[in-house]
Amino acid sequence: YIRGFDTAVQAGGNVGVWPKRLAERFNTVYTFEPEGHNFYCLAHNCPEPAILKFQAALGCERKLVSAVYESGVENMGAIYVQPGGSIPVIRIDDLGLESCDFIQLDVEGYELEALKGAILTISCFRPVLMVEEKHFLWPGRYPWGDGAIQEFLKPFGYKAEERIHRDLIFVQEG
């Protein structure tokens, strides 16, 4: 689905698996990981200068959050954000990108907030979007449910083209 391979934005960088793989194809990869231990590993595992690493969360509102481990889950990637803390929230639109071909989000239920912070980027560049959707695992954590991402993207002309496990791939129609 991706036509250009200049810039990718990836969130939920974890220990670097996604950013490293994306850097094999894209000229520049912006990756975001809010949790400190994971970010340390990501920085160590991804020394490539084409991978720009941020210990931050993506969202639509500039604020500070904390990274919280999913209770009862033995998965270093099962970390979500909640208000308060010292981790900055960055909007994709604030990056001032000159191009954007792909946005991949795996941020444990905060994907809609990250997309809301990318309205200008999405409108300008029409990137392919790959978004994890597994809200059903934590109903009530955030005030939106399954289908909210699809509804949010409709006015931009996006439709879900394919589902791969819990990830939806969105492309702009036409």
What pLDDT is stored for residue 93 in this prediction?
Answer: 98
**CA 59 to mean position of chain CA atoms:** 9
pLDDT digits (tens, 9 = 90+) for 101-149: 999 999 988 899 999 999 999 999 999 999 988 655 555 666 666 788 9
Q: How many residues does the chain have?
A: 174
pTM over 0.75: yes
Mean pLDDT of the chain: 91
Q: Determine phi and psi for 51, rounding to 5 degrees.
A: -100, 110
pLDDT digits (tens, 9 = 90+) for 63-116: 999 998 766 555 555 788 889 999 999 999 999 999 999 999 999 888 999 999
Query: What mean pLDDT comes out for the span 34-42?
Result: 95
* pLDDT for residue 172 is more than 60: yes
What pLDDT is stored for residue 20 in this prediction?
Answer: 97
